[in-house]
Amino acid sequence: MKRILIYWFLGGVSLCHGACSSENRPKGEPGKPGEPEVSTTRIFFGDPFIMLHDGTYYAYGTASADGIEVYTSADLTVWQPAPGRRLALDRKDVWADKWFWAPEVYHVNGKFYMYYSADEHICVATGDSPLGPFRQAEQKPMIAGEKCIDNSLFIDDDGKPYLFFDLFNDGLNIWVAEMENNLLDIKKETMQKCISVSQEWEEVWPRVNEGAFVVKHNGTYYMTYSANSYESPFYGIGVATATHVKGPWTKYDKNPVYQKAGDLVGTGHSAMFTDKDGKLRIVFHSHHSRTEIHPRIMHISTVSFGQEDGREIMKIDPKYITPVLEIK
């Protein structure tokens, strides 16, 4: 028998369904003979990303010093580690040996591409399964001579690929470049700045616009991004829009759209995905608690679009779920 730990939050009120405990079985109720004991914990991913492929959800995030972990789920609420708890990406198979951050995985033309940061450089590796192993045939960063992080792939309606990423100049700011059709190389001559710190809420500490993720809706490009240091409780999510993927980008004048939701602080570095019901969802991390940053925790909410003052805007539901990981 299983008890599932799921948290729903709204305005600081938490409803805990099942047992608010790491124990999986009710006390006094033994498991079946030979059945492994199962415990649950929250998912300790920073910079999380979720992909739906062939009816299964795959989650990746910043966690391991040795590469990138992957978990799977059928329903977004309860997750399992990869078989043998193996890494999706192992540092022995790629360039660099530290700081594996912010992975995103895409399935294009029968191959899986993982975009991630390593040693403060953007990288890409490929694999034949969303579980990996992801490897680099040529072990190198995408831009060798420039520190940059948080690379995110966007493929437009015409099939043209672009890469968004953060550059370390005047703090962190967000750039875009066209990509070669192999999805491995960027066209450096097309690099163009998108946004940098420009709104009052972004000026807490230090100068950071990072973690871009772009979707297209009704002909408009919507970029979610994060501002302030990830260490700040005021880390939050903003939105910018454009009529062309390379901009110019205009920030929503009522940013941040998500900051300190419920009891959470340090909410940010988000990515969006479509769930099994066709709903647009958003995954993000928070600080571990109001007093501790690490390990950061993964949460999921829902994205919608509505009208405001004669314009369409993106909204993020203040309600969110905090999924759990089953450990056997």
The domain locations on the chain are 45-318
**pLDDT at res. 35:** 72
Asked if residue 31 has pLDDT above 70, the reply is: no
Q: pLDDT tens for residues 99-111?
A: 999 999 999 999 9
The residue with tokens 């993020």 is: 316
Cβ neighbours of residue 2 closer than 8 Å, sequence gap 6 or more: 24, 38
| Whole-number Å distance between alpha carbons of 86 and 71 | 10
Most confident of 2-6, 20-24, 38-42: 38-42
Structure tokens at 146: 């420039």
| Identity of the residue numbered 143 | I
pTM for the predicted model, two decimal places = 0.90
Q: Using 50, 70 and 90 to split pLDDT, how confident is the model at 11?
A: very low
Q: Using 50, 70 and 90 to split pLDDT, how confident is the model at 34?
A: low
Q: What is the CA radius of gyration of the chain?
A: 20
| Whole-number Å distance between alpha carbons of 116 and 164 | 12
Cβ neighbours of residue 315 closer than 8 Å, sequence gap 6 or more: 257, 303, 304, 305, 306
Asked if residue 7 has pLDDT above 80, the reply is: no
| Architecture of the domain whose range is 45-318 | 5 Propeller (2.115)
Q: What angle do CA 273, 83, 22 make, to 5 degrees?
A: 80
For residue 32, which phi and psi values (nearest 5 degrees)? -70, 150
Structure tokens at 225: 């991004």
Q: Which of 23-32, 139-148, 228-237 is predicted least confidently?
A: 23-32
Long-range Cβ contact pairs of 198-202 (< 8 A, separation 24 or more): 198/251, 199/227, 199/238, 199/251, 199/255, 201/227, 201/234, 201/236, 201/238, 201/255, 201/256, 201/259, 202/227, 202/228, 202/238, 202/255
| Whole-number Å distance between alpha carbons of 134 and 185 | 17
Query: For the residues 69-81, what does the mean pLDDT come to?
Result: 98
Asked if residue 17 has pLDDT above 50, the reply is: no
| Whole-number Å distance between alpha carbons of 243 and 228 | 26
- Can you name the residues that pair with 163 across neighbouring β-strands? 153, 177
Strand pairing category for 324-327 and 78-81 = parallel
The residue with tokens 């995954």 is: 283
Instruction: Give the sheet arrangement for strand 209-217, strand by strand.
Output: 209-217, 220-227, 236-242, 250-251
Q: Using 50, 70 and 90 to split pLDDT, how confident is the model at 32?
A: low
Cβ neighbours of residue 138 closer than 8 Å, sequence gap 6 or more: none
Query: For the residues 84-97, what does the mean pLDDT come to?
Result: 96
Q: pLDDT tens for residues 158-179?
A: 999 999 999 998 899 999 999 9
